[in-house]
Structure 1
Amino acid sequence: MAHIVGYRKESFKGIPTSHIFLIIIVTVALIGFMLNPADNWKDNILSMLGTVAVIVVIVGFALNKVNPMGWKRLFKKAEFERLVQADHTILASLQSLNNDHYVMYDFNFELLHVEFLVLGPQGIFVVGKLTSSEPLRVDAGTLMAGNEPLSKQTGNLWRICHLINIVLKKGYKEEIMPQPVLVATHCDSVAIAEYDGIAIMGPGDIASHIQHHAQNDIQREVVQGFAGYLHKRYFK
């Protein structure tokens, strides 16, 4: 079975204690700021409220980037449950890979959120999930799920691939370009198998795709070394 590493414990249970502590500190600071007895507070009430609003938006954005699943659980429960189901489906398929493979999921690689990253002797695969049940199509060069453009997802997959390629060049002197994969977890069938270099498939096909579609012949030492680097930097 593949080696599985992820942050699912935090993501599924909600917002970590450190994030809640930060929210409390910011809330107390804002209350103190609002209650500060200034002589001309009435004249500055609009600027004070504006400052508070900006701070709240920035903190909320930062916390959402760090732990998006936790925030979805609080404010978008239906979407959260759908994403959880999709993750379980993909993980069930990836677990069938042998122990030469490392599966890392649900972590932030610098500023980019990685849903699944598979490292193995056949290559490196950046896997994203698509939970829409709408049929896939290409309209004016853009991949669509029904009427929803998927340019953000496809662009993010390629950004992660290029960032990993840069890291491997600098740290391991290896020229390896990961393959982006988009897994449609809620579609009965996938009509489009490839878009802009991104392989598209159902969850039942992802393990076979990795095992039988060799992209690169990567040395075991590189796979283990990069997996160890990621684990130490992003999962401890």
Structure 2
Amino acid sequence: MRLLIVDDQPLVRQGLRAVFAGLDDIIVAGEAAHGAEALELVRRTAPHVVLMDVNMPVMGGLEATRRICAAGRADPDRTLPKIVMLTMYDQDEHVFEALRAGASGFLIKDASPQQLADAVREVVDDGAMLSPSITRRLIREFVRRPALPAPDGELSALTGRERDVFRLLVQGYGNAGIAEKLTLGESTVKSHVQSLYRKLGVQDRVQVVIYAYENGLI
């Protein structure tokens, strides 16, 4: 798995590189000091995952994430890297902006080396990674929000089986769990998951859950 590290602090980049130096399954493909450099390196190195700082000069992590994800949506044949945001603080506005921008994870910088490595592996495997404190804040925020009417057009585009998969995704089931619940093969589940991603205009499980909450489906 190719990893791109984006942070404006050289010591932070050095520390992150050291975390992954001894791992056989993760290779640091490059480093960037701000979002503008990250955009260029994403094009040149085609990383699987980007560890992205939130606050940086020139271009911050949120704007860089928006642009990276927008480029992927504009070119469906292009492989879109998964983005895990890194920050010193679990500020609400950053969490929501980052996830809406297309981030697949959000970690505080005091995460352990094992948590960082696990986050990279998890998002590559089509999962999501949020620190426990951020997860609690997200739940509280969504509970406070009034339910909105569901967008009938997008949901009606889903087949009956895709709706079944959608419901289980929102409940937190992984592909293996969905396969067991629906008595399907994992490869079939993966196919349904990718199909509903395209139809709903989302890119991963985090975005599916946000879509469901914001449209009053759960």
Q: Which has the larger radius of gyration?
A: 1
Q: TM-score, normalised by structure 2?
A: 0.28
Higher RCO (CA 8 Å, separation ≥ 6 residues):
1
Instruction: Give the structure with the higher percent strand.
Output: 1
Superposition TM-score, scaled by structure 1 size: 0.26
